Structure 1
Amino acid sequence: MVEHAETQVLDAEIARLLLKQRKSKGWTVAELAEYSGVSQAMISKVERGASSPSAAILGRLVNALGITLSKLFAEAELSQNTNVLLSKKQQQQHWTDNQLGITRWSISPAGANPELVKIEIPALSEFFMPASAYEHLNGQTIWLLSGQLDIQIDTQLFHLETGDSIALTTPADCKLHNPDHQLPCVYIVAFSQKKF
């Protein structure tokens, strides 16, 4: 029950920050819908905290707003914890995509560079991340902590086993798939944002 309550608090904070980012650009809901490809109805639900968005929807929204998911989560964490320089395990924010069952932990302290994120993908689950979701990054490195992970980058397929790592140096469409029939796969992603 405590974990569910913490997720609701984070969802509410994400809703507040997305609304703040949209308003800081002077955009209407219709404009954000046009730039992100997310429907006005879904944006309204997310901004009111009436719906917990999937990773794909969040990715489209933050990309249209010119920020990364990690920046959004770091700001959500900062608003809950002031002046965080150390990221204790019990303070690390996590979020679960209720549709796909994928869980994401922000494990680096807020404002860290590079940023570290831990992802867990359930057995046989997969998700797609478009190149546009990563265009604000200097690249990223994935290190598989446990399980197996298949990554399709454009038309190339890579199979990772526990301990393997792969660096994505330029934005590309990616499909990540856990081929195991029983076990989740867990990996760490390290990345930094481009300076503009």
Structure 2
Amino acid sequence: MSTKKILIVVDMQVDFIDGALGSKEAATIVSPVCQKIETARQNGDILIFTRDTHHEDYLDTEEGKHLPVPHCLKDSAGWQIDKRLPIAEGDTIIDKPTFGSLAFGNLLQQKYSSTVESIEFIGLCTDICVLSNAVIAKAALPDVPIVVDAACCAGVTPESHDTALAAMKTIQVNVLHQGQEPWRK
């Protein structure tokens, strides 16, 4: 059985780019993320997209009590993956109700444990959902190299982005730095 690389595109949704929780850092990574997706597709890599998914009761949830900004409400415009991203039929989309997704970890174990060469993460937010899902992937497949491309991620703040990258390094996630992040000139 041939091995494959998996590219995980985390929460590249309207609300995180230029919606309710958008930022200039998030908007800056859209183009490099699109390029990374196209390259992965050309290489025959597996693409998995995650989508933060909340419901009308969001403010009553534990997350909503700590981040009282309704965002990524299922079927809303802000919940949609940004239209600039080249999603294709056959790509996997995982709706997740919170930061990390145990369903994602289970999918990795059940479907890819014997065929995956490496897993790379890109997307939003480095310090919340990218970090959470990288930890889950590392726990699900501890012998598979996990990579995060810092230039294709953005955190809530540039400082929290850097802190999350440092934390991921300590659990043996390989952080790629291709020069400085585009918003830090």
Q: Which range, TM-score by smaller chain?
A: 0.3 to 0.5
Hey, which of these two has a bigger chunk of strand by percent?
Answer: 1
Greater RCO, 1 or 2 (C-alpha within 8 Å, sep 6+): 2
